[in-house]
Amino acid sequence: MLLRFAKGDLSWQMEDSSRVLQMKMQMSLEEMCSELPLEFASYMHYIRTLRFDDKPDYNYLRNMFKELLIKENEEYDHVYDWLL
């Protein structure tokens, strides 16, 4: 869902569900996150390595994206593109 919000659409969006799963399994994180800042691939890698009982480090994840906003000279205004 994060990648769909960030990119607008995904290459597998119009495919049937079995083909979607196959495409996702064959696609690297770098391919999925192409044209996005590296932080998106880092995020995806982090969450993929979590085990079922692991508690995500939400502060780490939030800070990663807050630092990206600063790097990209964007304002953290709590207004999201999908609300516009």
CATH (domain of 76): 1.10.510.10
Distance, in Å, from the CA atom of 28 to the CA atom of 64, rounded to the nearest integer, reads: 21
pLDDT digits (tens, 9 = 90+) for 46-71: 999 999 999 999 999 999 999 999 99
DSSP assigned state of 36: S
Residue 46 lies in domain: 2-83
pLDDT digits (tens, 9 = 90+) for 13-23: 555 667 777 77
pTM exceeds cut of 0.85: no
pLDDT at 38 over 80: yes
Task: State the average pLDDT for the chain.
Answer: 83
Domain tally, the chain = 1
Helices 38-49 and 58-71 pack at an angle, to 10 degrees, of 170
